[in-house]
Structure 1
Amino acid sequence: MVRARDDLCINVPTFFKCPISLDIMKSPVSLCTGVTYDRSSIQRWLDAGNNTCPATMQLLQTKDFVPNRTLQSLIQIWSDSLRHSTVPHPLLSSDQVLPTVAQLETHSLRSASLAKLLHFARDSNHNKLILAKLEGFVNQLLRFLDNVDGGLVASANTQFLQQVILLLGLILDSVEDRDGLRNSLLKGNKQSLDSLLLVLQRGCCESRIASARVLQFIAADAESKILIAEKEGVVAELLKSAAPEKDPALVEAALASLVAISTPKRNKLKLVSLGAVKALSRLLAEAKLGAAAMEKVLKLVETASSTREGRKEICEDAACVAAVLSKVLKVSSVATEHAVTTLWSVCYLFRDRKAQEAVTQANGLTKILLLMQSNCAPQVRQMCTDLLKIFRVNSKSCLSCYDTKTTHIMPF
């Protein structure tokens, strides 16, 4: 565990967090796939009619789950040691919240008050809702973010911005007027993006995750996405945060933010110009990410492949093509669709010979045939058919024994 100054940023062990909510699990339970979730999160997933494991997308043979007592004990031991050794304040009661918020107006009490409110918000979703609904509280946090030009840029005060962004990140999902919050963060003579960028650059892991989540939250429409991408340094810093050597939770948060931002064409081009293809290729080849994070990597590669510049970068990197191909049928149906769309774009739409050769050398034709024999989506099947058409068939090719009227694949 890493403790930051004033106990404001604590790196939570990744396996203590629910893969769905990303919060510390209160009642960890394991599915038949072996993946553990917080009971309330996985119950909502199953109650919504889903019959797959969210992390692996495997079809569930049973929807029963088993309490993970060992993990629950570990989390309890960790929480107790944290409470006794690193958290200087007892948990606020509900009637202490308002006086503590009032203390934010006093500069000398501000940091300690924010620390108490952070501890309060982390304790439960109910507490997050209390803060989100407290009149004027969210606007007060936004005012703190907007003071980046008033001396907060100094490294000595970066910790204060981390507190604000951590707290804002915790209550985002509980805010009722989300559109109003987004407008407040981006419209007018605001400095919020400066604060978010500063924390991305200098913050601890937890606060950088919160900053990425806030950016993802803001990126709700084309105008917002463009404003974020045009802020010098934001996209580049998100790409740095998504490096294989970074904390997996930070990588996934940065990827989610990039996916949210990348829709407009100018943003796609910016991603490509900043070296996103090479960065994503590294993630595909080196990182040990969960299914949800890998889906986001492949989504971004697919996004890059929708531009001429991105396709060129992908085609120049045979390792990238091979890495994309390696994820077909290996991660999830969503990941497979992203991967096939990328291969279709560079090999069929762009007709790049290097990309075609990379697919052939990586035994891609076999994977395409296997995929066509699976229960894949109609659009995926059509793209596979298009891909098969562009590869030359000769007597030595595995395709020479393939008959489209058969329902199986001949052995190779």
Structure 2
Amino acid sequence: MPAVTTDTAADLTKPDNPVESTADVIVVGAGPAGSTTAYYLAQAGLDVLLLEKTEFPREKVCGDGLTPRATKQLVDMGIDVSTENGWLHNKGLRIIGGGVRLELDWPELAAFPDYGLVRKRADFDELLARQAQKAGARLYERCNVTGPVLDERTGRITGVTAKVGEEKRAVVFKAPLVVAADGNSTRLSVAMGLHRMEDRPMGVAYRTYFTSPRHDDDYLESWLELRDPRKKDELLPGYGWIFGMGDGTSNVGLGILNSSPAFGNLNWPEVLTTWCSGMPEEWGYTPENMTEKIRGAALPMAFNRQPHYTRGLLLVGDAGGMVNPFNGEGIAYAMESGQIAAGVIVQASARITEAGRERVLHSYPKVLKEVYGGYYTLGRAFVKLLGSPKVMKLATERGLTHPLLMKFTLKLLANLTDPRGGDAMDRLINGLTKVAPNA
């Protein structure tokens, strides 16, 4: 994705490569991060372009399960999350491992709802994009962003080049601020010189769907004993999931961390298939009941791309490595970072001077680190521990037999605490995240 300087961009204003539109802000990518950002910007009265390379409805690799953190974000955006509107509600997390089957309800908190949700990503992402449209964002579908337009003197992004529609018409979109919400690969960020930090954790997720009688399960289910097919006694650092979709199917998948030596050497679809083959036959997780092929995606974790603001570009969601390293959850943090970024942009737009606007925009990475930095630092340490098969074995065999410890673990892994007050567990977790370095 090559950058275009303003001298070259001037040529793009000719009729065959026109400036398609100008706006206050361009948001590249209409996934949860981009649509949330666009929604809050438009709601505040800014002119927003939301550019999506595909056309809705479109599929994304995901577990489709949402924790109370994501539920809160949907409620904040005015989305109807009732069962009557097609959402499947869940009570909590069922954990299976070490011969133990433990059901943990979502905690009762003031800060978050006490239920999670399930919805297919093809439907979910479109709901958010349409909500952003209703707020006033201008959505372009089938708009493939090909590169940034840069000011030749300052190197600042002033827009993007793109190919639009079936005919792939080359156009330019101009705005003083651009938000990269283009996912893990984030070609726009890379074109701006922002590369992945190799010392930060990464994960992968693979999933498929099966016709199953377990489709209406009211708990998200997590299996902690994924094994290396080559070494049956060696546990892998990750988990398998089974999420009922409420439509006659189950989403069955696995998430694995790169802290294991086996990470780059295993065939993950084969691991998923092998794991499913050990399930009870009546559940239906067999090849003949598979409704979609196995697909995978990367999980960029713990701020693995920084800085989150530079030269007119803000990073949100997977583009900024916002996935929770404790549990692989990405949607809640994509939406939260979008809301934070929009708030910063709105405040910056109200400043009178360029220096004042930049001062506010440079606060965005600081706010992110204040909110998530300590927690993600703890998560990076957690990922390293799970890289040891011995630690995984100890955790599954001993930890699951202590319900109080598991209640604490659920709050920690799902990042579900009341920020003010709360119980002793909340105060301990909040205290740990405050003292951990904001890296």
Fold-level match, TM-score > 0.5? Answer: no
- Going by fraction, where is strand more abundant, 1 or 2? 2
Structure scoring higher RCO (CA < 8 A, sep ≥ 6) equals 2
**TM-score grouping bracket, smaller chain normalisation:** under 0.3
Q: Which structure shows the higher helix fraction?
A: 1
TM-score scaled to structure 1, two decimals? 0.26
TM-score computed with the length of structure 2 as normaliser: 0.25
